């Protein structure tokens, strides 16, 4: 009996020490403030699911949502400028990215298209090919396997310093596709799976100044790191499913990771510095953080999909 008591006490001491170690290891909550009523929408526009956001070098803000005018531009103070892409066949708006030259790239998962707009918002390039249902029964090619340059519900895009284009071809093909600056497919890597270099919904992609690619492998609950030729380097597990990624334009060596109910802040060694938020559907709380944009380390725009809302967040 005495041995049992001693063993129980020892077990409690060990598990208590373990719990304390886990508590000490938990990343801290980072304080933040949400700017109230930041976006000023005209009365003719109401946003639906907010799924994309990015900011150009002048501070102009571009928001993608799943309502009638899916691409919206705002001034740095949140005042409305215009809608973009009227008349284009959008079916599944998914994300928006601004490249280093301030061109706008719109990713539409429903039509399997990635559309590049120049700084005047004129269409400059289209990657992929949208389905043409009226030709399905008559054109043999429509019954064939889609070509490798076509997408199956793409999710995101980023660029190398030589103009290379990297597409997260996300829901269907679970791969990364690399194109040259002329829009020609160079190579692709990845397939559905859990091994290094495999994916289950590559949902977001960014590149750092050392040309490391970071891929949010959402359903595998990890971030995978590659070089620009697709060579696997490492994986990180932040502690939640990564939905969206951004790096500050100014070059601060951090990565913001949107997830469910929170945003992780990580260093570029894979360590979680801290987290922001908890789950909820009102301003100050977070739901599905489908996109994040960070013009600097202390300013974060978070697309809240379930709440039909964009939050401007000041990180303290």
The pLDDT value given to residue 292: 98
- Residue boundaries of the structural domains of the chain: 30-315
Q: Are 227 and 210 in contact (CB under 8 A)?
A: no
Backbone torsions φ then ψ of 262, nearest 5 degrees: -170, 170
Cβ–Cβ < 8 Å for 150, 112: yes
Q: List, run by run, the mean pLDDT of 10-residue segments along the chain (316 residues).
A: 42 42 72 97 97 98 97 98 94 97 98 97 96 64 73 97 97 97 98 98 97 98 98 98 96 96 98 98 96 98 98 97
Q: What is the pLDDT of residue 250?
A: 85
pLDDT at 145: 64
Residue linked to tokens 């609950």: 221
pLDDT at 2: 38
Residues 232 and 192: their CA atoms lie apart, in Å, by 15
Identify the CA nearest to 32 among candidates 219, 222, 298, 226: 298
Superfamily of domain 30-315: TolB, C-terminal domain (2.120.10.30)
Q: Could you give the CA distance from residue 259 to residue 199 in angstroms, rounded to a whole number?
A: 17
Question: How far is residue 207's CA from residue 226's CA, in Å, rounded to a whole number?
Answer: 9
pLDDT of residue 132: 73
pLDDT at 227: 98
| pLDDT at 136 (0 to 100) | 55
The pLDDT value recorded for residue 131 is 80
pTM: 0.90
- Cα 247 to chain centroid, rounded: 11
| pLDDT of amino acid 147 | 83
To 10 degrees, the CA torsion angle through 247, 251, 253, 254? Answer: -30
Compute CA distances 240 → 37, 62, 108, 218, 260, whole Å.
Answer: 29, 27, 25, 9, 8
How many CB atoms lie under 10 A from the CB of residue 56? 20
Q: How many angstroms separate the CA atoms of 36 and 293, rounded?
A: 18
Helix (H, G, I), strand (E, B) or coil at 4: helix
């Amino acid at each position: 009996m005495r041995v049992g008591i001693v063993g129980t006490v020892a077990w409690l001491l060990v598990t208590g020490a373990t719990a304390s170690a886990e508590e000490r290891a938990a990343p801290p909550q980072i304080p933040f403030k949400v700017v109230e009523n930041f976006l000023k929408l005209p009365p003719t526009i109401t946003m639906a699911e907010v799924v994309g956001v990015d900011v150009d070098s002048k501070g102009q803000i571009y928001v993608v949502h799943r309502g009638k005018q899916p691409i919206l531009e705002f001034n740095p103070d949140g005042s409305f400028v215009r809608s973009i892409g009227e008349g284009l066949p959008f079916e599944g708006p998914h994300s928006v990215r601004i490249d280093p030259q301030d061109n706008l790239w719109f990713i539409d998962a429903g039509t399997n298209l990635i559309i590049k707009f120049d700084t005047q918002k004129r269409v400059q390039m289209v990657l992929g090919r949208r389905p043409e249902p009226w030709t399905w029964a008559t054109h043999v090619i429509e019954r064939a396997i889609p070509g490798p340059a076509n997408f199956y519900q793409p999710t995101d895009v980023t660029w190398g310093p030589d103009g290379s284009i990297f597409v997260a071809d996300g829901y269907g093909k679970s791969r990364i596709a690399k194109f040259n600056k002329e829009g020609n497919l160079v190579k692709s890597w990845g397939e559905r799976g859990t091994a290094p270099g495999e994916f289950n919904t590559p949902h977001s992609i960014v590149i750092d100044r050392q040309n490391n690619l970071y891929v949010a492998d959402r359903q595998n609950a990890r971030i995978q790191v590659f070089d620009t030729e697709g060579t696997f380097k490492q994986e990180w597990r932040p502690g939640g499913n990564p939905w969206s990624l951004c790096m500050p334009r100014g070059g601060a060596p951090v990565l913001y990771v949107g997830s469910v109910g929170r945003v992780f802040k990580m260093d570029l060694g894979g360590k979680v510095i801290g987290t922001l938020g908890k789950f909820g559907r009102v301003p100050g709380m977070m739901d599905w953080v489908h996109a994040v944009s960070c013009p600097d380390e202390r300013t974060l725009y978070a697309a809240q999909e379930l709440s039909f809302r964009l939050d401007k967040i000041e990180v303290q």
